[in-house]
Amino acid sequence: MDVKVSSTPRGSYRKFLEQLSGAGKAIGVLTSGGDAQGMNAAVRAVVRMGIYVGAKVYFIYEGYQGMVDGGSNIVEANWESVSSILQVGGTIIGSARCKAFRTREGRLKAASNLVHRGITNLCVIGGDGSLTGANIFRKEWSSLLEELARDGKIDHEAVQKYAYLNVVGMVGSIDNDFCGTDMTIGTDSALHRIIEVVDAIMTTAQSHQRTFVLEVMGRHCGYLALVSALACGADWVFLPESPPEEGWEESMCVKLSENRARKKRLNIIIVAEGAIDTQNRPITSEKIKELVVTQLGYDTRVTILGHVQRGGTPSAFDRILASRMGVEAVIALLEATPETPACVVSLSGNQAVRLPLMECVQMTQDVQKAMDERRFKDAVQLRGRSFETNLNTYKRLAIKLPDDQIPKTNCNVAVINVGAPAAGMNAAVRSAVRVGIADGHKMFAVYDGFDGFAKGQIKEIGWGDVGGWTGQGGSILGTKRILPGKYLDKIATQIRTHNINAVLIIGGFEAYHGMIIMGEARSQHEEFCIPMCLLPATISNNVPGTDISIGSDTGLNTVVETCDRIKQSASGTKRRVFIIETMGGYCGYLANMGGLAAGADAAYIFEEPFDIRDLQSNVEHLTEKMKTTIQRGLVLRNESCSENYTTDFIYQLYSEEGKGVFDCRKNVLGHMQQGGAPSPFDRNFGTKISARAMQWISTKLKEAPGKGKKFVSDDSICVLGISKRNVVFQPVTELKKETDFEHRIPKEQWWLKLRPVMKILAKYRTSYDVSDSGQLEPVQQQNGQEEHAAI
């Protein structure tokens, strides 16, 4: 297909979606294997994106079974067929295990059913088994068609016309057991289910001083067990990839009794259902319970989570992931040629990538092989960077060495929260304190932001003081928006008095601005010549230097859950449009991403100026929509997107213009977006990124063995964030140039690229730059110099 490219000032070539056409193409979409939350969001994106580019899209019901049986199992989908499914778990087109497709006869029937409808593009959403099946089918396609022609089932013209089959896969699996992808569709939602249960169990366990053994899914992969253990601070975790060393029974009992001695009223042990020991013998939750009861005599209960983990509504992360993947899959199918190997669209860090399907499948099978052969170190490495980092972080935070075994550095490190509270801040503080102590530093907590720093509200904080902090929302240390400008003398005095050698700041835009002020004051106050690191933590996600901030995922989930409820109310009343105001200051992240995850019709944001004509066209669009079977509307508005087009103004305009066609309601979400327990993502992200920041601080302090060294270079005062696929430390002096201080946002924001996706899925024509989509990448490319940002 001829792709026209337009040149941009930078001289690089740009590729736009408008240049790709799906006219005359037919795409079949199926879900196969075990179901996962978010599959519906992927199906919706494939259907709508396919229709948008002019292709026909077919549902293939009941997975490969439906493809073999044909008939009413393969049905053309339209725009409205995928309405209202974004918030539904599981898959609306069904999934089944299929024996027939494993035989050549079965695949012949399937090929015949596809050819009769002209389908030569397949989008398969499933696990490694489903994707392997699709690849075999693709390889056999031409020989299957020839055989069908010989038997007179299709004519020779069809053999020429439908000569090759394109396959693109998306991985839907709650276990996150597919190599090459950071996150599979459904994993984040399964973690939500697990953490909801853990949080609930913790309150009852504390009341009775009980030990709980929780069994989570993962027959061959311990990802869910590992991340939930990291996110709830479990005492012990059992994984298939990393069995406990010989004699673990005794070590575990010692650890549990030590924790009890430290006044901890409960113990949590998490077990993956496929947990084994070093001899590949299963370790069951019942066996662990018996051990604890006989050795320690603790009151112990077992809870098996089972299929609860597969159920429920998909999280915001899974909806956005699946929508991005679905759109990417259709682009990959449009660009495919007969030579293109089957590919998987996946996430690397925060970037969508295409990987060769069979290489990923091969690696996934290699993990199992390594486990069978008891090469457990290899198994962990093959799982990827993300898994390995999680495992190492868990080990560092869960097990404290005796004090006499930790070499002391005689350095004091302060941790401070600045700005508005964000969920996940406490997880980051806990992680920093424990990693700092394990590195031999003394850790100090600063209470109530820069204000508290100036007043000397500073206390040493120990390993046990931060126990149970991961699941707490808000900020336990207390936080204020006050900048340090007026208090520089007093803060410098406190740094001197407490002999502080480094500072870790966890907070939002004020924290970033405050760090710049302290950096600029180095010439007047030598006390500020120490390493300083900022971890961005704000629901608004408006700190320069990172794609994602601690707390923004929790805020986004609140927005999306509320939108789901409001949509339900609007569907019941019919012909109703809701206007919802989100927080975020001038940053449109919550409104834009919330709109994408909740299936909004429009999202007004400051970064994309709009005028009365845009509002008018949105009203007309909704008027047209009310003529269809989808008689409801959802419009999001960022709180500061426009000085004059306020929420009230937009509400009144819509009410007047929509008279007789639809009525309007408005809802301001307010501070509920800041509260609540942190999501599993924010707990895990806060924990991991904070551990990485402490590692950086420790390295810096090692450069200065004596007390004399002054840190004056720009690279000793940094923001730690995620950029595309890497974890990066960026000096604030460099980031200053990229900041719009008046509106407190970065000048360039990655998520604006996803704006057209939201518009396309809401049935608007728009221009979409797909230059980032493209070449297949080899799977093993993660060994470069940069640090891979596995989320």
Q: How far apart are CA 134 and CA 130, in angstroms?
A: 6
CB 525 within 8 A of CB 710: no
Q: Which residues contact 95 (CB under 8 A, 6 or more apart)?
A: 31, 32, 33, 34, 35, 39, 62, 63, 126
3-state DSSP assignment of residue 665:
strand
Residue 743, classified by CB atoms within 10 Å of its CB into exposed (0-12), middle (13-18) or buried (19+), is middle
Distance CA 553, CA 547 (A): 12
The catalytic site residues sit at 175
Q: Is the Cα torsion angle 617, 620, 624, 630 positive or negative in sign?
A: positive
| Backbone phi, psi, residue 451, to 5° | -60, -50
Question: Of all helices (H) and strands (E), which one includes residue 570?
Answer: helix 552-573
Give 543's strand partners: none
Beta strands of 273-348 (E only): which ranges?
300-304, 343-348
Parallel, antiparallel or unpaired: strands 343-348 and 442-446? unpaired
Length of the chain: 791
- Mapped onto helix, strand or coil, the DSSP state of residue 532 is strand
Query: How far is residue 210's CA from residue 786's CA, in Å, rounded to a whole number?
Result: 44
3-state SS assignment for residue 534: strand
Beta strands, E only, 465-519? 502-507
Q: How many whole angstroms separate alpha carbon 122 and alpha carbon 25?
A: 11
In angstroms, how far is CA 18 from the centroid of its own chain? 29
Q: Residue 54 contacts by C-beta under 8 Å, 6 or more apart in sequence?
A: 21, 22, 23, 25
Task: Kindly report the backbone phi and psi dihedral angles of residue 745, in degrees, each rounded to the nearest multiple of 5, phi listed first.
Answer: -140, 160
CB 323 within 8 A of CB 596: yes
Q: Are 37 and 90 a contacting pair, CB within 8 Å?
A: yes
Per-residue DSSP letter, 727: E
